[in-house]
Amino acid sequence: MNEFELIARIVPGLPVNDQVVRGAGDDCALLDLGLKENLVLFKTDAVVEGVHFTAETTARKVGRKALARVLSDVAAAAGTPVSCLVTLGLTKKFDPDYVLEFYEGLNELAREYYVSVSGGETTRTTGPFFVSVALIGTVPRRRMITRAGAKEGDAIFVSGELGGSIEGRHLDFEPRIKEAQWLAENFSVRCMMDLSDGLAGDLRHILHASKVGAELLSAAIPISRASKLKAKTESSAKPPLLAALSDGEDYELLFTVSSKDAVRVLDGWKKQFPKTKLSCIGKITGQPGLRLRDGAGVRSLPAHGYTHFEKS
């Protein structure tokens, strides 16, 4: 049983109550606590030394990344982050200076996004250093976005460039909070998520939740310079397109809008965020499954993507 199979077994039995608008299975949980205009977003995310960063990563970058990951999930819901709690798993021989520097990186990003760090705890572990960040945010009820709204004919968009994040971007990416809020304010965004497990794998979550399929245009998929460079210099590296489809930790926005809005979205984005690429990479289809179109025709993309427990 892999991670996804296990989660599929667990999720149907999880207790719900009247406050749950959207529970397990989306980027953030959505709760109705009785606020007139807003729903509450709730999200946690953990990073572990040796998995999400190495012993050589500076503590400042680890702190930044630990918070940036949950902010990226809030972005996926077009929400506003409010407050976080930080849990640190430290060994008995922990270095206080490392922890202080970790907080410098985390606090700096928190201030940038007006997020309070309202506590948390340290706990002891005999294993690698780990961090879990829990975050509360808000999102206007009227513009709640989940993974489940994609419709046949929708245009599929992705921000930024994909693949090769492991070369450095995973430590200093900017969560797409502003971009997502702008999209949600100005367009009818049908569904949105942030890319964490790779485009092909993550898009499948949208297709599954929305009960649709998709056809991607191979030539339209934005490939990062890091992926291209790696493919050139390392003989064992993935071909760049495969890296863009399957590498994890892109932290870019993946969303769909009605095809009639597609050009307006592209034009508006270019004016609003001239430094960040936005690509229309394909369309939602009534036919289930994920397909890739290139010069040679259309072929089915087998289920892959980054599975935490399959890579070591």
| Touching its own copies, residues 267-306 (CB under 8 A) | none
Q: Tell me which of 57, 101, 134, 289 binds its own copies, using CB under 8 A.
A: 134
CA 98 to chain CA centroid, Å, is 27
Asked if 258 and 154 touch (Cβ cutoff 8 Å), the reply is yes
Q: How many CB atoms lie within 10 A of CB 309?
A: 10
Residues 46 to 85: which contact its own copies by CB under 8 A? 46-48, 50-52, 82-83, 85
Q: Choose between 99 and 217: whose C-beta lies nearer to its own copies.
A: 99
- In this structure, what token pair is assigned to residue 82? 């409010």
- Give the residue, chosen from 62, 66, 75, 136, that forms a contact with its own copies under the rule CB under 8 A: 136
Report the greatest alpha carbon distance in the chain: 59
The position carrying tokens 């289920």 is: 303
Give the shortest CB-225-to-its own copies separation in angstroms.
29
Nearer to its own copies, 272 or 307 (CB): 307
Question: What is the closest distance, in whole angstroms, from the C-beta atom of residue 172 to its own copies in the complex?
Answer: 19
- Residue 175 structure tokens: 């969560």
Site for its own copies in 27-46 (CB under 8 A): 29, 31, 33-35, 38, 40, 42-46
Q: Smaller CB distance to its own copies: residue 54 or 235? A: 54
- Nearest-angstrom CA–CA distance, 254 and 192: 6
120/289 with CB nearer its own copies? 120
The interface with its own copies within residues 3-22 (CB under 8 A) comprises: 3, 5-7, 9-10, 13-17, 19-20, 22
Least distance in angstroms from the C-beta of 5 to its own copies: 8
In the region spanning residues 230 to 259, those forming contacts with its own copies, defined by CB under 8 A, are none
| Positions in 201-220 near its own copies (CB under 8 A) | none
Shortest spacing between CB 271 and its own copies, in angstroms: 30
Q: Which CB sits closer to its own copies, 92 or 260?
A: 92
Q: Among residue numbers 82 through 101, which ones bind its own copies (CB under 8 A)?
A: 82-83, 85, 87, 89-90, 92, 94, 96, 99-100
Q: Which is nearer to its own copies, 55 or 296 (CB)?
A: 55
271 contacts: CB under 8 Å, gap ≥ 6: none
User: Does residue number 162 form part of the binding site for its own copies (CB under 8 A)?
Assistant: no
**CA nearest to 158, candidates 307, 276, 302, 67:** 276
Residue of 58, 101, 103, 293 that binds its own copies (CB under 8 A)? 103
